[in-house]
């Protein structure tokens, strides 16, 4: 039976509820009065439930689809403004004991180069990332209790936080590692992580078990219930995601919303972020072997509908997607992007020969971080390297309340401008610096509170004179 408040995977991600929802959506996807009721609710910008969102997903009416895009764009502006948070992934180790059939790290792949960063390697990698201008990382690792135990992950986090090269610093480490125990989540919390990210891959249990034939990740319930253990372990911010292409997208979409509703029902806070990866080519992986790939247009609609259904959630798109797809996604709800990414273990330190064979997936957007920053500014966005919320304790329900009460323009906007200023001073190419400075002057006027505006101007001057790391 479907029970959003249950702690059992099969009750909160309930197959019958998903199938009923899809049947309801199929039946009503052309029902004008239901569609207009749902759109009227969406316009209130307070979100939609999984049934309502599913009807919009299946609706093929062109004018409604246009309306969905406009609404998503507006909601994104209302909740997140024109800021885009920047991060980079850091691959620690590709040793893995799982058999995920879509992932090149799977245990049966005997020709991939297996690597694990030593602490000295991490210093080199993070120094290279800091020299690009990064302040926020997402660390990634395969699951391997011998090569990558929790002690290794914790040691890496500690090393990362202690590296200060020139004016560089990594101020927030998000973690994307396999589902683990409440005790280990507590250790991650104590290590000062930002968001714990775990992609569900697929919400369809039967497919999940086939796609993960061996290894601890085979256990669907353990994987699906991970976020509840993470929150019980003290982690406030969790990031959901589906690997689109593995199962049919309407099923995954409803599963994802059920998961978000479950977190909200149990913990009073929904997902801090939602990622939208699609299966890509990689060593030993041909995406054509997965017959649920989704075209760009549907992908864009899914992003828009997640934004409408869960207005407050951060949304992440990685360099799995190319420039054109990312550009459209930004206007529909994405609030965080990676830039200058390498998905191989040891890929950032150019003194090491890049070994393409250890990449986790083909990167489609190969531009440098500076090119990404220039592109965002040209498009009218404010790239942000801000990490203030987490560092000032605005996490979990405190962040959500802050976001929902519209305080973002008085806090996030100034924080974005002062962290962008640091980037321009320390790392930007001359032409990026030029348009960035003009943008900062223009965007200062968007800070509603006069006191905060004056304080921001003060911080900007201090940064120009060499001081660093201010925040609201």
Q: Considering Cα of 281, then 291, then 251, then 142, what sign does the dihedral take? A: negative
Interaction residues for ligand SAM, span 108-137 (CB under 6 A):
none
Other C-beta atoms lying within 10 Å of the C-beta of residue 400:
20
Distance CA 141, CA 120 (A): 17
The candidate with the shortest Cα–Cα distance to 181, out of 226, 216, 135, 143, is 226
Half-sphere exposure of 432 (CA within 13 A, CB side): 22
* Total site size for ligand SAM, rule CB under 6 A: 21
Q: Which of 75, 90, 103, 137 binds ligand SAM (CB under 6 A)?
A: 103
Binding span for ligand SAM by CB under 6 A among 80-88, 164-172, 173-181, 381-389: 173-181
What is the Cα–Cα distance from 323 to 116, expressed in whole angstroms? 30
Q: How far apart are CA 215 and CA 205, in angstroms?
A: 16
Structure tokens at 404: 């929902």
The secondary structure of 186-225 as a DSSP string is HHHHHTT-S-EE---B-S-HHHHHHHS-SSGGG-HHHHHT
Task: List CB contacts of 110: < 8 A, sequence separation 6 or more.
Answer: none
* Residue 171 Cβ vs ligand SAM, minimum distance, rounded to whole Å: 22
Nearer to ligand SAM, 76 or 106 (CB): 106
Min dist. Cβ of residue 321 to ligand SAM (A): 10
Residues 260-279 that bind ligand SAM (CB under 6 A): 277, 279
The SS3 assignment for 285 reads strand
Q: Which of 85, 178, 257, 428 binds ligand SAM (CB under 6 A)?
A: 178
Of 318 and 425, which has the nearer Cβ to ligand SAM? 318
Contact call for residue 419 and ligand SAM (CB under 6 A) = no
Out of 320, 326, 342, 413, point to the residue binding ligand SAM (CB under 6 A): 320
Q: Which stretch binds ligand SAM (CB under 6 A): 14-22, 32-40, 176-184, 185-193?
A: 176-184
Q: Which residue has the tokens 């101020």?
A: 171
Site pattern 145..164 for ligand SAM (x: CB under 6 A): --------------------
Phi-psi label, residue 237: left if phi above 0, alpha if psi -120 to 50, beta otherwise: beta
Minimal distance, residue 108 CB to ligand SAM, in Å: 14
For residues 240 and 229, what is the distance between their CA atoms, to the nearest angstrom?
14
> Nearest distance from residue 246's CB to ligand SAM, in Å?
9
Query: What's the closest the beta carbon of residue 200 comes to ligand SAM, in angstroms?
Result: 9
Q: Which of residues 283-312 bind ligand SAM (CB under 6 A)?
A: 285
- The nearer residue to ligand SAM, 24 or 222, going by C-beta atoms, is 222
Torsion angle, alpha carbons of 158, 160, 163, 167, to 10: -130
* Least distance from ligand SAM to the Cβ atom of residue 343, Å: 9
Question: Which DSSP letter does residue 153 get?
Answer: H
Of 84, 126, 128, 243, which one interacts with ligand SAM (CB under 6 A)?
Answer: 243
H helix or E strand, kind and range, residue 316:
strand 314-317
Among 76, 136, 280, 413, binds ligand SAM (CB under 6 A): 280
Among candidates 180, 86, 72, which has minimal Cα distance to 427? 86
Which C-beta is closer to ligand SAM: that of 322 or that of 392? Answer: 322
| Binding string, residues 205-224; x marks residues near ligand SAM by CB under 6 A | ------------x-------
List residues near ligand SAM by CB under 6 A. Answer: 102-103, 140, 142-143, 176-178, 198-199, 201, 217, 243, 277, 279-280, 282, 285, 320, 360-361
């Amino acid at each position: 039976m479907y029970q959003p408040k249950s702690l059992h995977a099969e009750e909160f991600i309930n197959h019958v509820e998903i199938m009923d929802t899809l049947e309801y959506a199929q039946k009503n996807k052309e029902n004008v009065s239901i569609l207009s009721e749902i759109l009227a609710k969406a316009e209130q910008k307070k979100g939609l439930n999984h049934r309502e969102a599913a009807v919009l997903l299946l609706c093929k009416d062109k004018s409604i689809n246009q309306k969905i895009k406009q609404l998503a764009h507006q909601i994104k502006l209302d909740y997140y403004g024109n800021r885009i948070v920047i991060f980079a992934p850091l691959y620690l180790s590709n040793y893995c004991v799982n058999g995920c059939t879509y992932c090149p790290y799977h245990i049966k792949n005997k020709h991939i180069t297996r690597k694990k960063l030593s602490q000295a390697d991490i210093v080199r990698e993070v120094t290279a990332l800091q020299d690009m201008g990064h302040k926020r990382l997402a660390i990634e690792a395969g699951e391997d209790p011998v090569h990558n135990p929790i002690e290794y992950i914790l040691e890496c986090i500690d090393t990362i936080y202690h590296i200060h090269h020139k004016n560089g610093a990594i101020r927030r480490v998000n973690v994307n590692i396999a589902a683990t125990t409440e005790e280990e989540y507590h250790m991650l919390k104590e290590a000062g992580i930002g968001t714990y990210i775990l992609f569900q891959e697929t919400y369809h249990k039967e497919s999940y078990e086939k796609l993960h034939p061996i290894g601890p990740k085979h256990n669907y319930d353990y994987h699906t219930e991970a976020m509840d253990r993470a929150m019980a372990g003290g982690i406030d911010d969790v990031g959901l995601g589906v690997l689109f292409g593995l199962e049919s997208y309407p099923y995954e979409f409803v599963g994802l919303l059920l998961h978000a509703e479950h977190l909200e029902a149990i913990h009073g806070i929904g997902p801090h972020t939602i990622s939208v990866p699609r299966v890509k080519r990689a060593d030993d992986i041909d995406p054509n072997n997965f017959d649920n790939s989704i075209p760009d247009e549907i992908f864009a609609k899914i992003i828009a509908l997640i934004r409408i259904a869960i207005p407050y959630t951060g949304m992440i798109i990685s360099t799995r997607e190319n420039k054109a797809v990312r550009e459209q996604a930004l206007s529909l709800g994405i609030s965080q992007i990676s830039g200058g990414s390498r998905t191989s273990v040891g890929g950032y330190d150019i003194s090491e020969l890049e070994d393409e064979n250890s990449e986790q997936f083909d990167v489609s957007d190969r531009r440098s971080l500076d090119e990404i920053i220039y592109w965002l500014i040209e498009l009218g966005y404010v790239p942000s390297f801000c990490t203030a919320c987490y560092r000032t304790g605005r996490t979990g329900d405190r962040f959500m309340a802050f976001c929902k009460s519209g305080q973002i323009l008085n806090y996030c906007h100034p924080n974005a401008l002062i962290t962008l200023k640091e980037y321009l001073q320390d790392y930007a190419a001359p032409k990026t610096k030029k348009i960035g400075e003009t943008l900062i002057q223009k965007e200062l006027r968007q800070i509603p509170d006069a006191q905060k505006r004056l304080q921001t101007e003060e911080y900007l001057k201090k940064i120009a004179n060499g001081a660093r790391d201010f925040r609201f």
